[in-house]
Structure 1
Amino acid sequence: MKPRIHPVSRTVVFRDRAADVAFLTRSTAGSDRTIDWQDGNTYPVIDVEISSASHPYYTGTSRVVDTAGRVERFERRYGVADAAQG
């Protein structure tokens, strides 16, 4: 590997605010904010909106999409197309 071209990898904490979960891992991302971790050390903390703890795919929860409501709203807004206009 060439020297001085790779970003510095450091230990950081990613905190998922939605699920109230934190992960200690390595990353090239940095932060000015810090957190005291369970091992007694202080690490930079990066707040994220979605992680594996809150993402619907990983948690098994799914959202119900109201497709009928979308179609009705579209037809109200733009009108129903005539079959003869084709």
Structure 2
Amino acid sequence: MRHAIHPVSRPVLFRDRAAGFELLVPSTAATQHTVQGKDGHTYPVVDVEVSSASHPFYTGTSRVVDTAGRVQRFEQRYGSTARAHR
């Protein structure tokens, strides 16, 4: 195995500021900033916009799309000729 060609893996804190969620995982992500963790150690930090704590799918706040209403609006707009060509 060749030496010095692989990136260094180290603990990195991924932080979702919107949800107040932090996750400390080993990563090779390049970071510009550091922050002090809850355990008192200083870690490189990556701010993310969406995490499992704030994503609608995981939080259960996702909306159900009304497909029947969409089909009816399409038929009103363009007529029912789209079904006749099947």
Provide TM-score, normalisation by structure 2.
Answer: 0.71
Question: What's the CA shift string for 1:26-84, capped at 9, x where partnerless?
Answer: 1000211221111222211111122232344544x14322223433443455x123268
- Provide the aligned length of Structure 1 versus Structure 2: 84
1:16 maps to which residue? 16
1:45 maps to which residue? 45
1:82 maps to which residue? 81
1:7 maps to which residue? 7
Q: Relative to structure 1, is the Cα distance of residues 75 and 48 closer, same or farther in structure 2, using a 3 angstrom cutoff?
A: farther
Partner of 1:14, secondary structure, is strand
Amino acid at match of 1:15: R
Q: How far apart, CA to CA, are the structure 2 residues paired with 1:38 and 1:84? A: 61
2:33 maps to which residue? 33
Q: Percent identity?
A: 61
Gapped regions of structure 2 (runs ≥ 5): none
CA shift, 1:9, in A, is 0.8
Gapped regions of structure 1 (runs ≥ 5): none
Normalized per residue, which structure has more helix?
2
CA RMSD of aligned residues (A): 2.6
